[in-house]
Amino acid sequence: MPRRITVDAPQVRALLGEQFPEWAGLPVRPVAESGWDNRTFRIGDDMVARLPSAAEYALAVDKEQRWLPLLAPRLPVPVPVPLAKGRPGAGYPFEWSVYRWLDGEPASAARISDPVRFALDLAGFLAALRAIDTTGGPQPGKHNWFRGATLRTYDAQTERALAALDGDIDTGAAREIWKTALDSPWDGTDRWFHGDFAPGNLLLDGGGLAAVIDFGTCGVGDPSCDLAIAWTSLTADGRRAFRERLPVDDSEWERGRGWALWKALITRARTRDRVDEEAVNARRVLAAIAE
C-alpha cells in the first residue's frame, strides 16, 4: 500500500503564501469528504486545492494538468479544470493543483432522484468521453494503477481474495464470472476512460448528475473499467438502461463485470469480519454481480 502523508490547513496556507500570494488571504478549510488519494481543501468559496497523499498519487498531477483542459469542453457535465500547479514546499513533498470548486454532493442511492435517468446520464458522459481523440493520451501504467490494461493485472490478487472467502461466498460461481471476464477479448482500440467512476467522484445537484471529479486514474486503453459502476451503483433497471445507452458488446460488458468483481472481492475479503457500511456494500455488489 502507498505510504500516505497528512496535510493540514496551516500547511496549505503556507503553500499559498509561498507560491500564490494573490490567494494567501483567502480562508482555507478541509473538505469533509476528501477522498483517499488526495488531501482536499476549500480555498475561499470558488477554489479547491488537491494535494496527493502519497508519491504514487502525485504521478497524476501533470497528467490532469495537461489533459483536463482538453477533455472538459467535450463533456456534457462540468469536470475539474486546473487553475494552477503548485510545487513542493512548506514541508509538503509533492506537486499539487488548484481547481475551480464544483458544487454538488457525492452520489448515493438515497440522494439520486431518478435511478434510470441517473444511469442514462452516466452512460451519456462515458459515451462523450470515449468519443474524444486519444492521440498522445496516457497509456495504462503506475500513474493510474493500470486501469485500461488487462484484468489479468489483478488475477493473483483476485485469487487470494477468493481463497480467503472460501466458505463465505460461492467461490465457484465467482471464479466462473472472473474466468469469463479474463477470456473476453478487447479489440485493441484505445478509448478514454475515467478509471475511478465511483459514487464519490460523481456529484449530484437536485438528485441528478451535476459534475464528475477526480481524474487521477484516467487514461486511454480498454475503457471497460468504467463499466463496473453498473453493478456497484446502479439499480437493476438502471443497469439495463445504462447498457442500452452505451455502445458496448458482450465482451466489454463481461470485462466490466470482472472489474466490479475484483474490487468487490478484495473489499469483501478485507471486511469479512465487519458489519459497517463498506462491508455491507461489498456484499450488496457481489449479489448484484451474481444476478
Domain boundaries in the chain? 9-101, 106-290
- The answer to whether the beta carbons of residues 81 and 44 sit under 8 Å apart is no
CATH for 106-290, options being 3.90.1200.10, 3.90.1150.10, 3.40.50.300, 3.40.50.1010: 3.90.1200.10
Helix or strand or coil: residue 1? coil
pLDDT, mean over the chain:
97
Please give the share of the chain, as a percent, with pLDDT higher than 90: 97
| Residue 134 pLDDT | 98
Predicted model pTM = 0.96
- The fold for domain 9-101 equals Phosphorylase Kinase; domain 1 (3.30.200)
**Pick from 209, 211, 217, 212: nearest CA to 193:** 217
pLDDT band at 2 (very low <50, low <70, confident <90, very high): confident
**Pick from 239, 193, 225, 228: nearest CA to 212:** 193
Cell numbers standing for residue 33: 469528504
Q: Residue 106: in which H helix or E strand, if any?
A: strand 105-106
Higher pLDDT, 35 or 151: 151
* Alpha helix stretches (DSSP H) within 185-276: 229-232, 236-245, 250-270
pLDDT of residue 122 exceeding 80, the answer is yes
